[in-house]
């Protein structure tokens, strides 16, 4: 392999920035020979793909949300707030926002409570814990659809859950997915079930990043296990906590697969989250109103995600 070897001195002499001394040189690290001045060729392929297939559609959506765009005509025309008014008149908009928020709230709480508990149980790295970590990670690998089918079987009136309850209380045939609130809570639970294995690992990473010396010092100070957890570990866990709460909540705002596999929005519209409502508008050929609903998801993510991050971050600084 031939490499062109240039003496370092020549280049530095040619570089006017050298006069500014060491400080300047450090600021320019990565371009010691002027070779590295342009970074954009390395970024362009990824940036082009992301902008083309994420950013541009994202911006276009803001426009499409306010247009008359259907599968029945080639013309896409501006119609202001008419899509949103139509969605309100049909009772879709507020209901689906409410359903989405309740779904995301339930999924987020279950996931974080369960995963935090599991992380505490499985924190130390040893053979037994590695085994259990792998076992609890299994649902993460399943597709949300698969999780939906498995759980709609478990929750069916004659399914294993009701049979187990029946062993204790006698004949039990509650239709978990047939009653409005139970159905919504159940699908949110399935979402939590599918992802908690991953969130558990995030919390384990967070717990293991806390130096043991702090806990040991607290033991010496006479703190019991409960105090050690809430007053030390839980506070220092703030970055992992922020990440998990935000990711699980925002992720659940975009729910679609699990609902599609279990209730498809029913009973009635009790589990019609925004994306399900969006899909049925799309399937009906109403692309404009579908865009409007998709914009609502985006607005919810921004309007709730940003304050949530800000709030949780402040907690991190405190700790």
Cα 100 to Cα 108, 250, 310: the distances in Å are: 12, 11, 22
Shortest distance in whole angstroms from residue 181 CB to other proteins: 23
What is the spatial distance between Cα 51 and Cα 64, in angstroms, rounded to a whole number? 18
Does residue 205 bind other proteins (CB under 8 A)? yes
Q: Which CB, 242 or 271, lies closer to other proteins?
A: 242
CA distances from 207 to 57, 90, 315 (A): 39, 48, 17
Near other proteins by CB under 8 A: residue from 183, 250, 252, 277:
250
The yes or no reply on residue 243 touching other proteins (CB under 8 A) is: yes
Among 14-22, 81-89, 105-113, 283-291, the segment contacting other proteins (CB under 8 A): 283-291
Query: Near other proteins by CB under 8 A, which window of 79-87, 101-109, 179-187, 291-299?
Result: 291-299
Q: Which of residues 105-164 bind other proteins (CB under 8 A)?
A: 118, 121-122, 125, 128, 130, 132-146, 149-154, 156, 158-160, 163
Binding status of residue 56 toward other proteins by CB under 8 A:
yes
Residue among 13, 20, 27, 81 that touches other proteins (CB under 8 A): 27
Q: What is the smallest separation between the CB atom of 43 and other proteins, expressed in angstroms?
A: 4
Shortest Å distance, C-beta 112 to other proteins: 14
Q: How many residues does the chain have?
A: 319
Interacting residues with other proteins between 75 and 104 (CB under 8 A): none
- Give min distance, CB of 195 to other proteins, in A: 10
The correct pick among 85, 90, 166, 231 for binding other proteins (CB under 8 A) is: 231
Long-range contacts (CB closer than 8 Å, 24 or more residues apart) made by 13-22: none
Smallest distance, Å, CB 89 to other proteins?
A: 21
Q: Looking at beta carbons only, is 154 or 175 nearer to other proteins? A: 154
The DSSP bridge partners found for residue 67 are 78
Question: Smallest distance, Å, CB 306 to other proteins?
Answer: 9
Pick the stretch among 17-25, 80-88, 94-102, 254-262 that binds other proteins (CB under 8 A). 254-262
Cβ nearer to other proteins, comparing 51 with 181: 51
Closer residue to other proteins (CB): 63 or 85? 63
Candidate segments 84-92, 99-107, 167-175, 276-284, binder of other proteins by CB under 8 A? 276-284
Say whether residue 36 binds other proteins (CB under 8 A): yes
Q: How many residues bind other proteins (CB under 8 A)?
A: 119
Q: Considering the complex, state which of residue 103 and residue 193 has its C-beta at the smaller distance from other proteins.
A: 193
**Using H for helix, E for strand and C for coil, what is the string for the chain?**
CCCCCCCHHHHHHHCHHHHHHHHHHHHCCCCCCCCCCCCHHHHHHHHHHHHHHHHHHHHHHHHHCCEECECCCCCCEECCCHHHHHHHHCCCHHHHHHHHHHHHHHHHHHHHHHHHHHHHHCCCCCHHHHHHHHHHHHHHHCCHHHHHHHHHHHCCCCCHHHHHHHHHHCCCCCCCCCCHHHHHHHHHHHHHHHHHHHHHHHHHHHHHCCCHHHHHHHHHCCCCHHHHHHHHHHHHCHHHHHHHHHHHHHHHHCCCHHHHHHCCCCCCCCCCCHHHHHHHHHHCCEHHHHHHHHHHHHHHHHHHHHHHHHHHHHHHHHC
């Amino acid at each position: 392999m031939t490499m062109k070897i240039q003496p370092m001195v020549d280049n530095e002499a040619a570089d006017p920035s050298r006069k500014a001394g060491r400080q300047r040189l450090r600021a320019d690290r990565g371009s010691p020979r002027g070779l590295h001045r342009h970074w954009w060729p390395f970024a362009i392929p990824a940036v082009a793909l992301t902008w083309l297939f994420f950013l541009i559609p994202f911006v276009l959506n803001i426009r499409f949300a306010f247009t008359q765009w259907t599968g029945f005509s080639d013309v896409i025309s501006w119609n202001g707030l008419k899509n949103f008014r139509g969605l309100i008149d049909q009772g879709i908009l507020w209901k689906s926002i409410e359903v989405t928020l309740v779904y995301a709230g339930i999924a987020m709480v279950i996931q974080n409570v369960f995963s935090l508990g599991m992380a505490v149980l499985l924190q130390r790295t040893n053979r037994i814990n590695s085994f259990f970590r792998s076992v609890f990670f299994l649902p993460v690998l399943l597709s949300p659809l698969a999780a939906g089918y498995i759980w709609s079987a478990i929750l069916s009136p004659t399914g294993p859950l009701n049979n187990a309850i029946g062993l204790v209380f006698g004949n039990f045939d509650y239709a978990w997915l047939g009653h409005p609130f139970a159905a919504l809570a159940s699908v949110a639970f399935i979402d939590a079930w599918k992802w908690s294995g991953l969130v558990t690992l995030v919390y384990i990473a967070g717990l293991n990043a806390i130096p043991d010396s702090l806990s040991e010092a607290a033991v010496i100070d006479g703190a019991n296990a409960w105090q050690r957890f809430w007053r030390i570990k839980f506070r220092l866990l703030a970055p992992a906590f922020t990440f998990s709460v935000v990711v699980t909540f925002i992720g659940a705002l975009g729910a679609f697969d699990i609902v599609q596999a279990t209730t498809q929005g029913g009973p009635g519209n009790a589990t019609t989250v925004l994306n399900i409502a969006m899909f049925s508008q799309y399937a009906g050929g109403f692309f404009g109103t579908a865009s409007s609903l998709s914009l609502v998801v985006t607005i919810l993510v921004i309007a709730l995600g940003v304050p949530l991050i800000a709030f949780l971050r402040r907690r991190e600084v405190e700790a």
